C-alpha cells in the first residue's frame, strides 16, 4: 500500500500513529516555513523537464521507512537483483554486473542507517544529503521490480566501471559536491 493511501485512510496504522504523535501539524509546518528563506534557491532534480514524481514519492517513502527502522524491504532487494540482470540483457554483461554491485553497495549502506531516535529524524547536513540521495537511487531499483526496466532509468546509463557515487552525484548534477547547496537548516526534532 502506498504512503498516500495510508495517510488518506484515517483507520490505517500510519494515520493513527500520525494523529497520535503529531496532533498539531500546524506547529511543525509553521516551524519549517519559518526556517525557509523568503526566496529559496530551488534545484531541478534533473537537467530539464518534469520531475519524476514517482521516484520522488518512493524516495520519500524510503526515507520514512528508514526513520521507522525498516531501511530495506523485499521490493528493494528484488529490484537490485533484477536490475543487474535486466541491464545485462539490454546493455552489456559488465554493465549489468556494475549495476548489481551498485545495488549491493546501496543495500549495505541503507542497512547501516539508524532509525530515528527520541524523535530525532535528521542527521548532520552532509549525512542527510547523502541519505536523501541514497533514497532517490533506491527508487530506481524499486522501479525495476515494480514496472520493469524502463527507458530513461538512470541505471541504463551506467558503464562497466560505475560505482554508487556515480548515481548519487552525477557529473551533470548542479550539485556534484554536497557542500555546494545552501539549504535551509533542517527540522531536527518532531513530536511533543
Q: How far apart are CA 157 and CA 166, in angstroms?
A: 10
What percent of the chain has pLDDT above 90? 43
CB 182 within 8 A of CB 113: no
Mean pLDDT of 166-188: 53
Query: Would you state the cell numbers that stand for residue 192, as one nine-digit string?
Result: 511533543
What pLDDT does residue 18 have? 82
pLDDT of 22-80, one tens digit each? 777 777 777 777 776 565 454 444 455 667 788 889 999 999 999 888 999 999 999 99
Q: How far apart are CA 160 and CA 21, in angstroms?
A: 47
pLDDT of 108-130, one tens digit each? 999 999 888 776 777 788 888 99
- The DSSP symbol for 30 reads H
What pLDDT does residue 145 have? 94
Q: How far apart are CA 67 and CA 73, in angstroms?
A: 14
Give the pLDDT band of residue 180 (cuts 50, 70, 90). very low
Q: How far apart are CA 192 and CA 176, in angstroms?
A: 37
What pLDDT does residue 171 have? 61
Start-end of H helices in 36-171: 53-67, 74-90, 93-111, 125-147, 164-168
Q: Would the pLDDT of 190 be above 70?
A: no
Amino acid at each position: 500500500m502506498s504512503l498516500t493511501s495510508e495517510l488518506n485512510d484515517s483507520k490505517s496504522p500510519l494515520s493513527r500513529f500520525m494523529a497520535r504523535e503529531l496532533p498539531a501539524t500546524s506547529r511543525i509546518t509553521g516551524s519549517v516555513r519559518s526556517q525557509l528563506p523568503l526566496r529559496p534557491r530551488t534545484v531541478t532534480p534533473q537537467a530539464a523537464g518534469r520531475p519524476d514524481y514517482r521516484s520522488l514519492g518512493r524516495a520519500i517513502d524510503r526515507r520514512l521507512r528508514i526513520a521507522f527502522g525498516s531501511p530495506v524491504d523485499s521490493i528493494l532487494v528484488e529490484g537490485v537483483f533484477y536490475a543487474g540482470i535486466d541491464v545485462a540483457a539490454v546493455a552489456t554483461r559488465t554493465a549489468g554486473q556494475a549495476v548489481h554491485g551498485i545495488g549491493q553497495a546501496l543495500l549495505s549502506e541503507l542497512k547501516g542507517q539508524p532509525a530515528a531516535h527520541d524523535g530525532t529524524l535528521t542527521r548532520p547536513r552532509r549525512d542527510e544529503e547523502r541519505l536523501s540521495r541514497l533514497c532517490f537511487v533506491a527508487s530506481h531499483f524499486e522501479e525495476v521490480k515494480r514496472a520493469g526496466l524502463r527507458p530513461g532509468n538512470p541505471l541504463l546509463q551506467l558503464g562497466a566501471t560505475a560505482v554508487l557515487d556515480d548515481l548519487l552525484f552525477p557529473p551533470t548534477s548542479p550539485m556534484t559536491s554536497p557542500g555546494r547547496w545552501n539549504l535551509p537548516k533542517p527540522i531536527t526534532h518532531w513530536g511533543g
